[in-house]
A and B are shown apart, each in its own frame.
Chain A
Amino acid sequence: AARMERRRDLMTLVYGDELSPEEIASGKTRPSSADAESSQTATDGFFRVTRQDGLDEEGDQLKTSINRKALEEKWQDEELLSSLHNCFITAPVGE
C-alpha cells in the first residue's frame, strides 16, 4: 500500500546520502537535480534551509532560525487554530 511505499522512501532517504538532513526534514523526497536548485533556495515558509558548506556559525545546535513574521501570519488562520483544538482535552467529542 502507499504507506509501505512511503516507509521505504523515508528510511532510504534518511539512511542514504542523496538528500541532506535539512532537505528530508523539509519534506523533499526526490533528489532529482531538476529541483535541486529550488531546494537550495527553499525557505519553506519559515524554516531556513541552512547552506551545506558549513561556513556559517550554525551547525551544532538544536534550534533552527525561525521567520517570526511567517509564524505570526500562519497562526492568525482561524481554520488552522480551530483544527489544533483536536490536540487538546477541550476538543468537542466526536469532532
Chain B
Amino acid sequence: MAPSSSSVPQQRKQILRFTSHRHLRQRLLLSLLSGKSIIISQIRPDDIHVGLRDYEINLLRLLERITNGSTVEISTTGTSFLFHPGLLPGGSYSHTCSLGRSIGYYLEVLVPLAPFCKKAFDISLFGITGEEGRDLTVDTIRTVTLPHLHIFGITENLELQIKKRGAAPLGGGQVIFRCPVVRQLKTIQFIDKGKIKKIRGVAYSTRVSPQFANRMVESARSVLNRFIPDIYLYTDVYKGEESGKSPGYGLTLVSQSTTSALHSFESLSTPPSESKTIQQTPEDIALFSARGLLEEINKGGCVDGKHQWLVLLLMALGKEDVGKCLMGDLTSHTIQFLRDMVTFFGVKFKLTPVQSDSSTEKTSTGEVMVSCVGIGYSNVNKSMA
C-alpha cells in the first residue's frame, strides 16, 4: 500500500483536479506535502460574488511566500486556479491575514506544514484571533491543536504566543507561531481514552467590561461542576492597546483524560452588525460552550473531533509501521479528508467501528478504531533543499 516515494520534480506532470471551494485548504496542504500539482475549478461559478474570496487569495499569497518555487495561476474570473507546490525552506515570516476569516483559518494549514520545513519555522500573524462558527480560535490551537502534535513527538520549541487579541470584524490581534523541524514522526498506539481528570479553559474578552469573563466562568461551572471538581478557567481580559479594535468575548474549554486524550469546544460572541439576534449574553456563550464540551466528550475516542484529520494525516506520514488510534464519531470533514488522502498519498485506513449498543437508531458512526501503515514520509525539504 506504500506508494513510491514522491520526489517532487517527477510529480509535477501529474496534476490532480478538483472542483468547488469546498475543502480548498486540505487540497492545498496535501498538494504541498505530496508535491503533486492541483487544478481547482468551478469555484462559486454562479454565486453573486463569483470565484475566490479575498481571504482565499490572501492564503494563496501566504503559501507562495513561505515556499520556494510554488506557482499560483488564477484564472481571470477567479473561478479556477492552478497550484504547483514548491519546497518548504522554513525561516521567519510575518503576514497580515485578510479580515474575511480569522487567524485560525491560516494556522489550520500552517500547523501541519511547519514540521516538514527544512529549517525551523516561525511566523507572526496579524488579524482576527477568534470568530464564532467556522475556524478554530488561537486559544484552541494553542491548547488543543499543538498538544495533538505532541502525540507524534513534536514537542520542543513548539508554541503559539497570543500577543494581542482582536475580535471580529475589525481584528487588530497578533500571534506568533513557532515550530521545530521533524526528521520523522513517531508511530502512535493511542487506543485507551482513559477517564477525564480535569477541565481547563480560557474566558477572554476585548473592549468590554471585565465582568463578562467572570460571568462566563460561573455559568460554565454551573454545568460542569457536577462531573469533576478540578476545573480551572483562566480569565484573559485585554484592555487598551492589546485588545484589538472590536468588542467581543468568548470561552474555550478543554477536557483532559488520564491518558491525555483531549476534547474541546468553544463559543464566541457574534458582532452586533452581523447577528440578527441580539448579541448573546456571556451566560449564553458559556452555557453553549459547556454543553458543547459534554457533546464532544459523549462522542468518545482519544482525539478531539476537530483534530481527527490532523492525527490521521500524521499517522499516514509516519514510519512504515502500523499506527492505531481510537476515534470518536467521525466528522464529515474527517471523512472527506480520508478520501482526499487516498487521492494524494494512496493511503487507506482500516476503519473498525467499536461495537456500541446499536439498539438506538444510529445518528453517527460511533467510535471507530483507525489504523494504517505509515508511508515513511522523510522530510523531503530537509534532505532535498
**Residues in B neighbouring A26, C-beta threshold 8 A:** 332, 363-364
**Residues in B neighbouring A44, C-beta threshold 8 A:** 363
B355 and A87 form a contact (CB under 8 A): no
| 21 CB < 8 A contacts A-B | A3-B353, A10-B351, A10-B368, A11-B351, A14-B335, A21-B336, A24-B330, A25-B335, A27-B362, A29-B362, A59-B21, A60-B21, A60-B25, A63-B136, A66-B292, A71-B291, A75-B223, A87-B297, A87-B300, A90-B228, A91-B195
A62 and B108 form a contact (CB under 8 A): yes
Shortest CB-to-CB span from B372 to chain A, Å, is: 12
B23 and A63 form a contact (CB under 8 A): no
Please list the 6 inter-chain residue pairs (A to B) with the smallest Cβ-Cβ separation, ordered nearest first: A59-B22, A27-B362, A21-B335, A21-B332, A25-B332, A61-B134
B228 and A88 form a contact (CB under 8 A): yes
Shortest CB-to-CB span from A74 to chain B, Å, is: 8
**Residues in A neighbouring B192, C-beta threshold 8 A:** none
Q: Which of B21, B22, B108 has the most CB of A within 10 A?
A: B22
Interface residues of A in 1-30 (CB under 8 A from B): 2-3, 6-7, 10-11, 14-15, 20-22, 24-27, 29
Interfacial residues, chain B to chain A (CB-CB below 8 A): 20-25, 44, 46-47, 105, 108, 133-136, 195-197, 223, 226-229, 258, 287-288, 291-292, 294-295, 297-298, 300, 306, 309, 329-336, 338-339, 342, 348, 350-353, 355, 358, 361-365, 368
Shortest CB-to-CB span from A19 to chain B, Å, is: 9
Partner of A65, one of B133, B197, B353: B133
Partner of B353, one of A10, A58, A71, A91: A10
Chain B: CB-nearest residue to A80: B298
Q: Which of A55, A63, A74, A90 has the most CB of B within 10 A?
A: A63
**Residues in B neighbouring A91, C-beta threshold 8 A:** 195
A87 and B288 form a contact (CB under 8 A): no
Shortest CB-to-CB span from B227 to chain A, Å, is: 5
Q: Which of A3, A62, A81, A91 has the most CB of B within 10 A?
A: A62
**Residues in B neighbouring A75, C-beta threshold 8 A:** 223, 291, 294-295
B23 and A89 form a contact (CB under 8 A): no
A84 and B294 form a contact (CB under 8 A): yes
**Residues in A neighbouring B332, C-beta threshold 8 A:** 20-22, 24-26, 50, 64
Shortest CB-to-CB span from A75 to chain B, Å, is: 5
B306 and A88 form a contact (CB under 8 A): no
Is A54 engaged at the interface, CB distance under 8 Å to the other chain?
yes
Chain A: CB-nearest residue to B291: A75
Instruction: Give the complex CA separation of A63 and B333 in angstroms.
Output: 9
Instruction: Give the complex CA separation of A50 and B295 in angstroms.
Output: 20
**Residues in B neighbouring A10, C-beta threshold 8 A:** 351-353, 365, 368
Q: A84-B227, A85-B227 are in contact. Are A63 and B195 (CB under 8 A)?
A: no
**Residues in B neighbouring A87, C-beta threshold 8 A:** 195-196, 297-298, 300
Instruction: Give the complex CA separation of A87 and B135 in angstroms.
Output: 27
B228 and A60 form a contact (CB under 8 A): no
Shortest CB-to-CB span from B7 to chain A, Å, is: 27
**Residues in B neighbouring A64, C-beta threshold 8 A:** 331-333
Instruction: Give the complex CA separation of A64 and B292 in angstroms.
Output: 12
Partner of A62, one of B195, B333, B338, B352: B333
Shortest CB-to-CB span from B50 to chain A, Å, is: 12
Shortest CB-to-CB span from A82 to chain B, Å, is: 9
Chain B: CB-nearest residue to A17: B339
**Residues in A neighbouring B330, C-beta threshold 8 A:** 14, 24-25
Known: A61-B333, A87-B298. 15 other contacts (CB 8 A): A6-B358, A11-B350, A27-B365, A54-B22, A59-B23, A59-B24, A60-B24, A62-B135, A62-B309, A63-B133, A63-B306, A75-B295, A84-B294, A87-B297, A90-B227
Chain B: CB-nearest residue to A89: B195
**Residues in A neighbouring B227, C-beta threshold 8 A:** 84-85, 88, 90
**Residues in B neighbouring A37, C-beta threshold 8 A:** none
Shortest CB-to-CB span from B335 to chain A, Å, is: 4
A63 and B46 form a contact (CB under 8 A): no
